[in-house]
Structure 1
């Protein structure tokens, strides 16, 4: 009997020791460290003296042109809201240049002149400069015959020599509007106008202009505004 009790007691002691050996105290959860603060990026302040370029096809207008006449009148011509965009020409010819333009041009005559004004007029338009002009193309066949064709014919297949005659570039002036007025201010507004020049094989340049003319019985005073030159 004593032996059985001792055996039971030994079993209970071993069970207690086994339980103590494999019972662990749960570890205290460590707090998750918070991510470091992001580095504050300091944005440099914009320089107010540097002009901000206009978006898209918009181009900056030039400074107003002002003329003070000897008889006391002040002529001012200027532009605003100008856009100039090179577009694919309707002819699809590689020697054609076409542009989509918009803008508002104003001219005014002010002051207390010593003469009587008889009228004023405002003209606005564009100048297109072309670096190289393409001349006629000469095709010389193997047999020696020579044929002169229009410039830049596409899809032409010949056997022999081809000679392209290039000429120095030119400037084409394209007036787009004229307005006569007697006093105060005249205005010309252009929107979505397509202008083009042909036979241009070099780089092209586009520039707007507006010319104001003031007249009296004996004098004419002329002042011209010119916009920024855009290379295409």
Structure 2
């Protein structure tokens, strides 16, 4: 019992430090350098993937709470396929997505202090991009919603489209990102995946952005 009491005290201390030490996020912008990935198939086909034009505009959340993060993200994904004379490209696609991670989840209906409470589990919302195929979990309201738990990363495909003539591009401009009930660091990382199928090979080629805090 005494050992259990010590564990409980440590948990309370960690939670208190996360909440009391938190400050309201300030507005700021952060760009990211472009990333390129190139692969060659055994049949000589070349696949190039670009992650470009990335920018994150952080903004104080409208509710002025300590446990919510908001921002607007711009990113572009490009896939270019150059088939060899010996190969035929049967299909291909470009997918742009986002990875979201939260350091400390203060969910589970926990009451923090006298007036501050948070809902069950960390939740996130990312706006969808019209005109392209949405990722898994899209709803009629044009957003992707989901749940992440402490120490894990949520992978959110935002948009995907087939290649035409060996080329495809998607630009997401100022899409809305919101993460709630996160008491620690919230980080995001963008990605672009080029998927190509030829007469002899199949491959997926990713290009990742640098992690940044939200």
TM-score over 0.5 for the alignment?
Answer: yes
Q: Structure 1 residue aligned with 2:43, among 71, 76, 99?
A: 71
Tell me whether 65-74 or 93-102 shows the greater mean CA deviation: 93-102
User: In the TM superposition, what whole-angstrom CA distance separates every residue of 1:150-205 from its partner, at most 9, and x where no partner exists?
Assistant: 359xxxxxxxxxxxxxx632212222211102433100011111022333211011
Tell me whether 70-79 or 85-94 shows the greater mean CA deviation: 85-94
Q: How many matched pairs? A: 155
SS of 1:136's partner is: coil
Tell me what 2:207 maps to: 225
Counterparts of 1:99 and 1:93, CA distance in 2:
14
Q: Structure 1 residue aligned with 2:171, among 159, 182, 189?
A: 189
Counterparts of 1:128 and 1:173, CA distance in 2:
7
Equivalent pair of 2:34/2:54 in contact (CA under 8 Å): no
User: Which is higher, the Rg of structure 1 or of structure 2?
Assistant: 1
Equivalent pair of 1:59/1:228 in contact (CA under 8 Å): no
Higher RCO structure, 1 or 2 (CA under 8 Å, sep 6+): 2
Counterparts of 1:92 and 1:72, CA distance in 2:
55
Q: CA RMSD in A?
A: 2.6
Gaps in structure 1 of 5+ consecutive residues: 1-55, 140-147, 153-166
Q: Structure 2 residue aligned with 1:212, among 194, 198, 202?
A: 194
Within the alignment, does 1:150 sit opposite 2:91 as a pair? no
Within the alignment, does 1:89 sit opposite 2:51 as a pair? no
Counterparts of 2:74 and 2:119, CA distance in 1:
33
User: In the TM superposition, what whole-angstrom CA distance separates every residue of 1:31-81 from its partner, at most 9, and x where no partner exists?
Assistant: xxxxxxxxxxxxxxxxxxxxxxxxx72412243011111111111111222
Equivalent pair of 2:106/2:118 in contact (CA under 8 Å): no
Gaps in structure 2 of 5+ consecutive residues: 1-27, 112-116, 122-148
